[in-house]
């Protein structure tokens, strides 16, 4: 199989990774994509490191069935805990969302005070702090977990009094730290960007690592000479481990378009 014609594999614990797929489609429009959402076992953010690594290994094995040329971990929790193990076990290039998000934040901050929000597991991993301080040790990082943001997004409660009250509760401690840049450390969170921005104020820069991650994907594919350049129609396939109808119904919120069909995936066999 010609390397450039192989698809890009993307996995997430659920549906939020479609924000990364959207960026891939916008920035690399001729690339085919296979997306895997582990909806039967979502959320990953409340699981132990051992479980997150185990699930992530299984997700990569599933995507490799489709001859993918690289894999994007569109899940901050998996990127935080599983990336080193995945790179150790698999030859295919694997790209996480942590380093690209950290790079973008360090570029944007003016006062060197960066906030990070994410799931409990992502925040506990301190992966963003580590990545940011490798880039610029002078930056101060302030973190907070926001476990209710994911269910708010999945319910479609993106604006309004409930989402604003929850956002204020989570974000006030970060606001008091005078952060000028905030990393949205979960692929669900960009859908709440309007509410988050209204709480923090217009001068705080919000970092969605999706676009920065796609830039890294482009670089990896160019380096391996597997960037697709033919003007051919790409193919998109979407797999989930549970509730394909529900995934299909709410996917347009994340992707900005309607998904044709969603297939149920079996991780074993």
pLDDT in tens, 14-33: 999 999 999 999 999 999 99
Q: What is the pLDDT of residue 269?
A: 58
Residues 71 and 92 sit within 8 Å (Cβ to Cβ): yes
Asked if pLDDT for residue 258 goes beyond 90, the answer is: no
- How many H-runs (helices) and E-runs (strands) does the chain carry? 12, 10
Same domain, yes or no: 71 and 86: yes
Residue ranges of alpha helices (H) inside 97-192 are 98-108, 120-125, 127-135, 149-155, 161-176
Burial 157-179 (b: 16+ CB within 10 A, else e): beeeeebbebbeebbeebbeeeb
Q: How does residue 3 score in pLDDT terms, banded at 50, 70 and 90?
A: confident
Residue 269 lies in a domain: no
Check whether residue 205 and residue 218 sit in a common domain. Answer: no
Q: Is 236 part of a structural domain of the chain?
A: yes
Taking all residues of the chain, what is their mean pLDDT, rounded to a whole number? 94
Distance CA 239, CA 224 (A): 27
- The verdict on residue 90 lying in a domain is yes
Is there a single domain that holds both residue 41 and residue 92? yes
Q: How many CA atoms lie within 13 A of 127 on its CB side?
A: 28
Average pLDDT over residues 188-216: 94
Instruction: Kindly state whether residues 215 and 196 are assigned to the same domain.
Output: no
Does the bond joining 43 to the residue before it have cis omega, within 30 degrees of 0?
A: yes
pTM of the model: 0.92
**Catalytic status, residue 70:** no
Q: Which residue shows structure tokens 């997150």? A: 52
Distances from the Cα of 157 to the Cα of 43, 154, 257, angstroms: 18, 8, 19
**Domain count across the chain:** 2
Q: Do residue 28 and residue 72 come from a single domain?
A: yes
Are 44 and 121 part of one and the same domain?
no
Residue 253 lies in a domain: yes
Catalytic hit among 123, 186, 191, 210: 186
Q: Give 1's pLDDT tier (boundaries 50, 70, 90).
A: very low
Domain match, 141 and 52 both: no
CATH number at residue 196: 3.40.50.1860
Domain boundary among 179, 194, 209: 209
Same domain? For 47 and 118 the reply is no
Residue 80 counted as domain residue: yes
Give the C-alpha separation, 261 to 125, whole Å: 35
Report pLDDT for 50. 97
User: Among candidates 87, 72, 78, 86, which has minimal Cα distance to 25?
Assistant: 72
Task: Report if residue 177 sits inside a domain.
Answer: yes
pLDDT > 80? residue 230: no
pLDDT for 211: 85
Same domain flag for 205 and 260: no
pLDDT greater than 90 at residue 207: yes
Is 75 designated active site?
yes
Of the listed ranges 87-91, 149-153, 225-229, 230-234, the least confidently predicted one is 230-234
Confidence of residue 2 (pLDDT cuts 50, 70, 90): low
- Residue 202 within any structural domain of the chain: yes
Q: What integer pLDDT is reported at residue 89 of this predicted model?
A: 96
Residues 137 and 119 in one domain: yes
Residue 258 covered by a domain: yes
Please tell me whether residues 235 and 194 are part of one structural domain.
no
Sequence-distant (≥ 6) Cβ neighbours of residue 248 within 8 angstroms:
259, 261, 262
Can you tell me the distance from the alpha carbon of 22 to that of 138, in angstroms, rounded to the nearest whole number? 33
Active-site entry in 10, 70, 75, 132: 75
**Could you count the other beta carbons within 10 Å of the beta carbon of residue 243?**
17
What residues make up the domain containing 184? 98-209
- pLDDT, tens digit (0-9, with 9 covering 90-100), for 107-161: 999 999 999 999 999 999 999 999 999 999 999 999 999 999 988 988 888 889 9
| pLDDT tens digits for range 43-75 | 898 899 999 999 999 999 999 999 999 999 999
Determine the pLDDT at residue 144.
Answer: 97
- 168 and 75 in a common domain: no
């Amino acid at each position: 199989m010609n390397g450039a014609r192989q698809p890009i594999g993307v996995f997430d614990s659920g549906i939020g990774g479609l924000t990364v797929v959207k960026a891939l489609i916008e920035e690399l429009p001729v690339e085919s994509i296979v997306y895997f959402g582990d909806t039967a076992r979502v959320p990953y953010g409340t699981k132990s490191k051992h479980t997150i690594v185990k699930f992530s290994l299984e997700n990569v094995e599933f995507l490799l069935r489709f001859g993918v040329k690289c894999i994007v971990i569109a899940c901050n929790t998996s990127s935080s805990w599983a990336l080193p193990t995945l790179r150790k076990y698999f030859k295919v290039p694997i790209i996480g969302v942590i380093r690209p998000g950290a790079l973008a934040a360090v570029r944007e901050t003016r006062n060197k005070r960066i906030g990070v929000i994410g799931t409990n597991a992502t925040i506990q991993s301190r992966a963003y702090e580590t990545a940011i301080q490798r880039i610029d040790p002078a930056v101060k990082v302030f973190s907070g977990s926001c476990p209710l943001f994911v269910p708010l997004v999945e319910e479609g409660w993106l604006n309004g009094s409930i989402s604003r009250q929850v956002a204020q509760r989570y974000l006030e401690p970060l606001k008091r730290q005078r952060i000028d840049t905030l990393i949205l450390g979960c692929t669900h969170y960009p859908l709440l960007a309007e509410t988050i921005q209204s709480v923090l104020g217009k001068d705080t820069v919000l970092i969605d690592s999706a676009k920065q991650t796609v830039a890294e994907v482009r670089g990896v594919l160019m380096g391996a000479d597997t960037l697709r350049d033919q003007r051919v129609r790409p193919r998109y396939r979407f797999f989930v481990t549970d509730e394909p109808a529900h995934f299909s119904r709410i996917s347009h919120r994340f992707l900005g378009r309607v998904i044709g069909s969603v297939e149920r995936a079996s991780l074993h066999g």
